[in-house]
A = this chain, B = another copy of it.
């Protein structure tokens, strides 16, 4: 931690500040310049609230200096984490596609879509059985029935399953059917849930909250990692800004930043980021070009009848064409898709 003193801080104020720092267990290094006095406080603990120092008389500014996350940081682990689920690796040179409907609706629907996913060369089937919806009046998901249908469809076409968990009570049930747990954007800071998922022995994909900083996102990953579960995958899905012509602002700059700050893989979700079908292909291409380790994409064979998010689902033929383009872009940057 670095403490900058006010230009006109008195001797007594400085002494008081130093005593406070020592009482919190810091080692002190003081640098007195012509203009400013700076105190370096070594040994900041992850649970220290720097505002305890900011409010002291004579203090101008305090910087934490160390990132508040540790296990998630690149300085803790230099090499990339590669999450292995059966024969699929997430975070390696080969990109990973997670495709499927927003919600599981019927047996026919999920089997039809699973076949398209498998035919496209993707390895992971996505689909929601428990749905967090802004409105209490909209479709809330099929529940366990949906999980059963998705598992059966995935097994039929040799796919892995990823599905969302919304609360602690659902973990055991979902565990029986899924290969990867997804934590949605609205639950990124549901700390009770994150703690429980830290104890699970299956990978967790953690979506970025709609207004979460990259630091908060990595802090939420830290909750899972510090619980003992090392298999955390991040997923960028758009952030909230002042712009209204788009549903969210897809923050692709987050991808190289996360790769620099952390060793965890990052997936991008252009379907939720844009919310409209015709913007999904350009943003999917951009995410691959920006260095995403994979994509999550919503598809539907009959989107007008979809029970949720139909307008952002790609039609099968658009999806297959997009897969070809993504393959070309992946190759252009020295990676592969299929």
Contact = CB atoms under 8 A, between A and B. Distances in A.
Interface of A: 2, 4, 6-8, 20, 27, 29, 31, 33-36, 38, 40, 42-43, 45-47, 49, 51-52, 54-55, 60-61, 63, 65-66, 68, 75, 78, 132-139, 166-169, 186-187, 189-195, 209-211, 213-216, 219, 222-223, 226-227, 239-246, 249-257, 260-261, 273-279, 282-283, 285-291, 304, 308-312, 325, 328-329, 331-333
Contacts of A304: 20, 52
A190 B170 CA distance: 14
A283 B43 contact: no
B47 A138 contact: yes
B309 A283 contact: no
17 contacts: A2-B2, A29-B29, A38-B65, A47-B135, A51-B311, A55-B278, A133-B191, A136-B191, A166-B191, A213-B243, A241-B242, A241-B251, A242-B242, A249-B251, A249-B253, A253-B283, A286-B286
B42 A35 contact: yes
Given A249-B253, A285-B333, A289-B289, A312 B51 contact: yes
Contacts of A29: 29, 31, 33, 38
A283 B256 contact: yes
Contacts of A291: 282
B278 A282 contact: no
Contact of A31 (B42, B139, B276): B42
Copies of this chain in the oligomer: 4
Contacts of A252: 250, 252, 283, 286
Residue among A29, A275, A282, A308 facing the most chain B CB atoms (10 A cut-off): A282
Identify the interface centre among A137, A190, A253, A332: most chain B CB within 10 Å of its CB.
Answer: A253
Given A31-B29, A286-B286, A311-B54, A75 B42 contact: no
A230 to B, nearest CB: 15
Given A33-B42, A134-B219, A167-B167, 18 more contacts: A2-B2, A2-B4, A27-B33, A34-B42, A35-B42, A49-B308, A51-B276, A55-B278, A63-B65, A136-B191, A210-B211, A242-B242, A252-B252, A253-B274, A256-B279, A282-B290, A325-B332, A328-B333
A277 B274 CA distance: 27
Contact of A255 (B78, B240, B282, B331): B282
Contacts of A40: 2, 31, 33, 38, 40
Given A252-B252, A253-B279, A329 B289 contact: yes
A202 B298 CA distance: 41
A311 B55 contact: yes
Nearest to A55: B311
Most chain B CB neighbours (cut-off 10 Å) among A245, A260, A274: A245
A135 B213 contact: no
B309 A49 contact: yes
B213 A242 contact: yes
